[in-house]
Amino acid sequence: MTGRPLEILEDLYFIERGYLCANHFALRSPAPVLIDTGYKASWGQTRSLLEELGIELSAVARIINTHTHCDHIGGNRAVQSLSGCRIALHPAGKGFMDARDARSPWWSYFHQEADFFDVTETLEDSASIHVGPHEFEVIHTPGHAADGLVLYNRRRRLLISSDTLWEHDIPVMTLRIEGERAVATMLASLDKISRLAVDQVYPGHGPSFRDFPTALRRAQARLGRYLKEPSRIGWDLVKKIAIYTLMMKARIPVDRFFDLLMQTPWYPETVVDYLEGDYHAVFDRLVSSLAERGLIHQERNHWVTTVKP
């Protein structure tokens, strides 16, 4: 799903994308600024959208990333090689990029496509950053991603919430990478942003929304259930990443899907950690549950997803 770019502050546009490719933002000015750059395989479309908006990519001055997950940094290397732009993100993410660590931002763990890039600036918690004339406060919100941050414009009570807060769902929690306490850490991050006065939220996925308190309560309740019943973490992860894998690949031969999942680190580990270790039984349950809900179906001996990328 790609909406028309929406001007949220003077010359700053919100570009809504989908599930595979995160939403992103662009400041149109002689020195353009991008906030996140989508997923690598979607870069062709991202580039067209930015150019249609009047952004000259070779003139981009700076990219700000909300974290280093593949669906938020996919255009970084292309833009940096065209423009030599600065790239700013949380120090933890700079550590991953400097060390060429493909696991901490989840890329190798989920077999995702992404390229390393040069981070030139770090954004610490409570720093302030200007996007053209607009001032944003940086709030570090780990839990989903160690380097996760949100950007808050106090003057207009506007929150760029990235994957810290969505309207109706919560993002995948990957405790093998983020640590055993990641759910509690995420709850603490939500608690931290709950003190902000917010009239409009621009999330990393899905349309913008106004009802910040309800979205917060919903996310807190979902995470609270994870604490009480950890197997839900594993089951949600398996379902979401199976769909994400189908989006990345577009289609997967029916007789190859299981093997493909078993070749990743995440599938066997998640089954062992949360789902009692029977790889085949979990796979059968996964596929029938997704098919029953109409989220996947077979086309000429291939699995495809109906979820819009």
Which lies closer to Fe ion via its Cβ, residue 69 or residue 94?
69
Shortest separation between residue 3's beta carbon and Fe ion, angstroms: 20
Q: Does 236 bind Fe ion (CB under 5 A)?
A: no
Residues 271, 308: Cα–Cα separation, whole Å: 26
Shortest separation between residue 162's beta carbon and Fe ion, angstroms: 7
Shortest separation between residue 163's beta carbon and Fe ion, angstroms: 4
Tell me which amino acid residue 62 is. Answer: R
Q: Does 36 bind Fe ion (CB under 5 A)?
A: no
Q: Which segment (31-39, 61-69, 96-104, 127-135) binds Fe ion by CB under 5 A? A: 61-69
Q: Which segment (126-134, 162-170, 176-184, 297-305) binds Fe ion by CB under 5 A? A: 162-170
Shortest separation between residue 149's beta carbon and Fe ion, angstroms: 11
Number of residues that bind Fe ion (CB under 5 A): 2
Please, what sign has the CA dihedral across residues 147, 49, 21, 251? Answer: negative
Per CB under 5 A, the list member of 24, 28, 69, 249 interacting with Fe ion is 69
Q: Does 147 bind Fe ion (CB under 5 A)?
A: no
Shortest separation between residue 12's beta carbon and Fe ion, angstroms: 22
> Which strands form 296-299's sheet, in the order they lie side by side?
252-253, 302-305, 296-299
Which lies closer to Fe ion via its Cβ, residue 85 or residue 163?
163
> Which strands form 158-162's sheet, in the order they lie side by side?
128-131, 134-140, 149-153, 158-162, 200-203
The phi, psi pair for 131, rounded to 5°, reads: -110, 95
Which residues are CB-contacts of 72 (< 8 A; sequence separation ≥ 6)?
22, 24, 36, 37, 38, 65, 66, 162, 163, 204
Q: Does 163 bind Fe ion (CB under 5 A)?
A: yes
Which lies closer to Fe ion via its Cβ, residue 36 or residue 163?
163
Which run of H or E residues covers position 139?
Answer: strand 134-140
For strands 200-203 and 158-162, give the pairing: parallel
Shortest separation between residue 92's beta carbon and Fe ion, angstroms: 13
Tell me which amino acid residue 49 is. Answer: L
Residues in contact with Fe ion by CB under 5 A are 69, 163
